[in-house]
Amino acid sequence: MNSSEPIRVMLVDDHTMVRRGLAAFLQVFDDLELAGEAANGDEAIQLCARLLPDVVLMDLAMPGMDGVTATRIIRQRFPNVQVLALTSFTEEKLIQNALQAGAIGYLLKDVSANELAQAIRAAHGGQATLSPAAAQAMVHAATQPPTPGHDLTEREREVLALMVKGMNNTEIAEKLVVSPSTIKSHVSHILRKLDVTSRTEAAALAVREHLVD
């Protein structure tokens, strides 16, 4: 793309007035132009296929397909299209989900025009931009201890689920068609990984942390 060509930006937001405001904002900058508008995730994907914009400004909370799902699909189908989340929400999980879905940045709607323009230029160049609230949330998430049971194998989860049902080693061995000594070994690994000392503690932790169905 020639550097003299404006960056084509697509707007995705279910509020018409927000889209109008963003469209007016784009007109202020010579190097940015409006490529198209969508009111939900489904429309965004269809429009992306037709327009192939450079950058998408993506709201996250929309009826129908939400912005996180739309971001994931757009990034999978159109890897050259960058997505900037532009939202009112600062929930840590939502920020994580948006970035994991492939958004290159996360901004709040109170961002200034110049900051937003700079974030669009950065996204077009493959550079990430995070609002201070989003950056703080990601730092917090990165410093949290891993959730209990994150390192359980699939077979250990099967054994744990049967432990929750109150089955003993012999019963679990019969159910899974393995030897009781094998189950004893699995149970030992499960207790160690969950950092508990008894089957009862393991079962209680599994229920509390939703480690098994």
Residue 1 pLDDT > 60? no
Q: Does domain 154-208 have CATH number 3.40.640.10?
A: no
Q: What is the pLDDT of residue 59?
A: 96
Report, as an integer, the average pLDDT of 117-122.
Answer: 97
pTM of the model: 0.68
pLDDT in tens, 6-38: 999 999 999 999 999 999 999 999 999 999 999
State both tokens at 167. Answer: 């089955």
Q: What is the pLDDT of residue 148?
A: 84
Residues 6+ apart with CB under 8 A from 80: 52
pLDDT in tens, 133-165: 888 877 877 777 777 888 899 999 999 999 999
Report, as an integer, the average pLDDT of 186-200.
Answer: 95
Q: What is the pLDDT of residue 92?
A: 83
DSSP state of 104: S
Q: Where are the domains of the chain?
A: 7-142, 154-208
The Cα 183–Cα 90 span in angstroms is: 44
Residues shown for the chain: 213
Q: What is the pLDDT of residue 145?
A: 75
Report, as an integer, the average pLDDT of 110-133.
Answer: 94
Residue 2 pLDDT > 80? no
What's domain 7-142's architecture?
3-Layer(aba) Sandwich (3.40)
> Which phi and psi (to 5°) does residue 171 adopt?
-65, -40
pLDDT in tens, 81-113: 999 999 998 888 889 899 999 999 999 999 999
Confidence band for 126, pLDDT divided at 50, 70 and 90: very high
